[in-house]
Amino acid sequence: MEFLDNDNDKGIYWVVFFVILLIMAIVGYKFVFSYHKPKDENKTDEELAEGFKFDDYKGTWVLYGDEDKVVQELRINIVDGSTLTFDYSIEEIVSFESKTAELEDNVATFDIEDSDSEMNISGRLIFRNDKIFLVITSANSSDISLGTIEFSEKMDNEV
């Protein structure tokens, strides 16, 4: 390199070269990981909102225990605007009837205070991929577990 007469000029040349190389690496990384992500096979919230029909979820959904006995039951009764009405029962523990939940997209949020059984439950119902996920976020009884319950089986005799 004849145009670089001393060591300072060569040092500046290498610093500029590595800065440009670093910038190109960062831009390349951003391009590869932001534009070429693998397509998620699950439906996005926008796709769910476009083809989402609550009528498909109306009816009785069950969770079976030992010996094919229904141990939990969730019935979606009425969907009206931004609310829905549902029944929920756990065998030999509690039964809630005609409770309401506030709808937003495919999620219904509820807070149940039942004076008859003195039980309080809070949570949400998530409607996704022909299943209902019951997420219990709080309960005042040790008989009711916090967490998510997946209802994937709808009773045949329901419309």
Q: Report pLDDT digits (tens) over 126-153.
A: 999 899 999 999 999 888 889 999 999 9
Q: How far apart are CA 129 and CA 96, in angstroms?
A: 25
Q: How far apart are CA 154 and CA 132, in angstroms?
A: 10
pLDDT for position 159: 45
Two structure tokens written together for 10: 């060569």
Residue 55: beta bridge partners? none
Sign of the alpha-carbon dihedral angle for 46, 155, 91, 115: positive
Q: Please name the CATH architecture into which domain 46-154 falls.
A: Beta Barrel (2.40)
Q: How far apart are CA 114 and CA 122, in angstroms?
A: 11
Query: Taking 50 as the threshold, does the pLDDT of residue 59 lie above it?
Result: yes
* 78-132 tens-digit pLDDT: 888 889 999 999 888 888 899 999 999 889 999 988 777 788 899 999 999 899 9
Q: Where are the domains of the chain?
A: 1-37, 46-154
Residue 127: beta bridge partners? 132
